[in-house]
Amino acid sequence: MEAAEAFADILGVGGDYRRLWGFYKSEKVSGEFLDHFQNNLDLLIQKTWVEKAEEIRKENLLDKVPPFIAHIENGKYPEALEEFGAILDELAYLFFGAQSQKNDFAEYVTRIDPLFGLFWWYGGQINGESGWVRSLDRDVLFALLLLGICYLTDF
């Protein structure tokens, strides 16, 4: 998991990543940290301004967060990673509108802020539409989840 740790350092969340990886290795994923993550993600979603017609997207996204957290708490990491990819896709849409659906989205965001762009590139890579996540080792799945969770908790 050295690569994931290095990526966490680049994103600026290496300390949280290492601490939570230690919890995971001792089979004690921190419920308190997941609560912070959910609260911060809920605030990001609720505080994002969108057109009136897009309000339903915000509500639908808020409804996806508790099942995602439940997947993590129950150790269902393939399902959690697939859900997380969908959550990030919707969150990007709330932040950037239709631009988030374009092929050059990560490049676009990288021009705004390189680290933010790197995070959205990561989000595009974990989008679970292809089903590839089910072939990954449990530790790799959790490492991928943890990267995004740490970033959004500190966002």
| Domain enclosing residue 15, as ranges | 2-154
Residues 146, 3 contacting (CB under 8 angstroms): no
Q: Is the pLDDT of residue 8 over 90?
A: yes
DSSP string spanning 114-145? HHHHHHHHHHHHH-GGG-GGGGS-HHHHHHHH
Q: Is the pLDDT of residue 130 over 60?
A: no
pLDDT in tens, 91-116: 999 999 999 999 999 999 999 999 99
H/E element holding 90? helix 77-96
pLDDT of the residue at 25: 62
Q: What is the DSSP letter of 130?
A: G
Q: What is the pTM of this model?
A: 0.87
pLDDT of the residue at 154: 86
pLDDT in tens, 12-52: 999 999 988 887 766 555 677 888 899 999 998 988 887 88
Question: How many domains is the chain partitioned into structurally?
Answer: 1
Q: What is the DSSP letter of 26?
A: T
Tell me the CA end-to-end span of the chain in Å, nearest whole number.
23
Average pLDDT for the chain: 88
